[in-house]
Amino acid sequence: MLGNIKICPGYRFAGVHCGLKAGDALDLALLLSDCPAVAAAVFTKNRFPAAPVLYGRKQLVEGHNLSAVLINSGNANACTGHQGEIDVMTVAEILAAALNLSREQIFVSSTGVIGEPFPVTTVLKGIETLVSELEGEVAKAKALEAAARAIMTTDKLPKVVGIEVKTSQGLVTLTGIAKGAGMIHPDMATMLAYLLTDAEIDRQVWQAMLQRVVDKSFNRISVDGDMSTNDTVLALANGVSGCSLTSPSDLDVLENGLLQIARDLAKMIVKDGEGATKVVEITVAGASKVAEAEKICRAVANSALVKTAFFGQDANWGRIIAAVGYAGVEIKPELVNISFNQVRVVSGGVRDPGYREEDGAAVLRLPEFTVKIDLQSGEDEFTLLTSDLTHEYVSINADYRS
């Protein structure tokens, strides 16, 4: 499956079934760095953060380097009170002992059903299997795919990317895995992502870089407008390449590479959206402020009526223009233009004189297309990715705990 994906040196992976999910589905993953890695992270803004998020935030504030990441699917360990926090500490301590590390070097993530007690005993049994499954270089691709599958919930496919970038210090590798298909909303989502590099980088520079990258990638996608309690993007830099990146040009190369893998993973999440059949790029251009373009963009991307029209391949531009109008931004309706790919649908706030319904419908039949909304009131713009809203989305979420 991984093909030509570059796998970051200095990391090992494992994914096993421990019993959190039915059947023999993989549900527990381990990412292990051969040496302590500088960590950066961005977490959910939900006011009900899960226990692993609380634990992870504390680790980052205290500036701990990380050596291992334990991720389970099937149980979110969210809204589980003080016991949930104790459970995170327990699994971290047990994994640390198994790997001969300190607890502070262990990062924990969970995803799955909210509000259910965390099955500590089940996870602890899985940790023993995980550690025994750690493979060497020969089986690394297989192990990475297993880890990517183990973090999935309603995802149909694992999400893995990897590239090399050339710096003045030498080649640097970046590898990322992610999960996410539903509860996807800008400002993070039911989404976990882990971005790894073998570069050496200053902690504060790494954190600032990750925040910029997340703002341009994971925070620019929406599947259903729901924000989860567990969202985490963790970035690790273990320095095993020997490339210490400090110059502005080298840092730009690394950031561009990090942005590339983050955007690739973000698009995979939208494409794998629960029941999704379309990936739609929404761009609002010609705004007087970026914040205004963003506000309109999010209104359109999150509109249930717009998203169902995409699914039905119904070129109903009235739903789009209605969302533009209620977004809460001062606009000049008589200037607004809307296009589906290269097909001009709206000119000056009304149906374009040359627009034919069949041309718009032909665009919406494509699996991927763009919607451009030009306000013609300034130079700023904002873009994000969204999906359609389908019958299958309702079925998946109606039966999620069954």
User: Quick one: pLDDT at residue 271?
Assistant: 83
User: Quick one: pLDDT at residue 189?
Assistant: 42
Judged against a pLDDT cut of 70, whether residue 187 lies above it is answered with no
Judged against a pLDDT cut of 90, whether residue 364 lies above it is answered with yes
Instruction: Give the torsion sign (CA, 115, 116, 117, 119).
Output: negative
**What is the share, in percent, of the chain residues with pLDDT greater than 90?**
79
Domain boundaries defined on the chain: 11-271, 279-398
307, 389 contact by CB (below 8 A): yes
The closest of 95, 74, 91, 94 to 83, measured between CA atoms, is 91
pLDDT, the chain, mean: 91
The model's pLDDT over 161-182, given as tens digits with 9 standing for 90+, comes to: 999 999 999 999 999 999 986 5
The model's pLDDT over 138-157, given as tens digits with 9 standing for 90+, comes to: 478 999 999 999 999 878 88
Bridge partner residues of 233 (DSSP): 42, 193
Residue type at 231 in one-letter notation: D
- Residue 81: how many CA atoms within 13 Å on its side-chain side? 3
As given in the structure block, the two tokens for residue 266 are 């973000």
The residue from 190, 229, 232, 386 that is catalytic is 190
As given in the structure block, the two tokens for residue 154 are 């309603």
Predicted model pTM: 0.88
Q: What is the DSSP string of 32-46?
A: EEEEEEEEEEEE---
Instruction: Return the exposure string of 347-383: e unless at least 16 CB atoms fall within 10 Å of the residue's CB, then b.
Output: bebebbeebeeebbbbbbeeeebbbbbbbebeebbbb
User: Quick one: pLDDT at residue 3?
Assistant: 64
Task: Kindly indicate the confidence band of residue 398, based on its pLDDT and cuts at 50, 70 and 90.
Answer: low
For helices 290-302 and 304-311, angle between their N-to-C axes, nearest 10 degrees = 60
The model's pLDDT over 245-264, given as tens digits with 9 standing for 90+, comes to: 999 999 999 999 999 999 99
Topology of the domain comprising 279-398: Ubiquitin-like (UB roll) (3.10.20)
More confident position, 196 or 187: 196
Judged against a pLDDT cut of 60, whether residue 224 lies above it is answered with no
Sequence-ordered list of residues with C-beta below 8 angstroms from that of 250, at least 6 positions apart, any chain? 167, 168, 169, 243
Task: Establish whether 190 is a catalytic residue.
Answer: yes
Sequence-ordered list of residues with C-beta below 8 angstroms from that of 291, at least 6 positions apart, any chain? none
Lowest mean pLDDT among 35-44, 190-199, 326-335: 190-199
Instruction: Return the exposure string of 286-299: e unless at least 16 CB atoms fall within 10 Å of the residue's CB, then b.
Output: bbeeeebbbbbbbb
Sequence-ordered list of residues with C-beta below 8 angstroms from that of 215, at least 6 positions apart, any chain? none
Does domain 11-271 fall under CATH 3.30.390.30? My reply is no
As given in the structure block, the two tokens for residue 14 are 């494992």
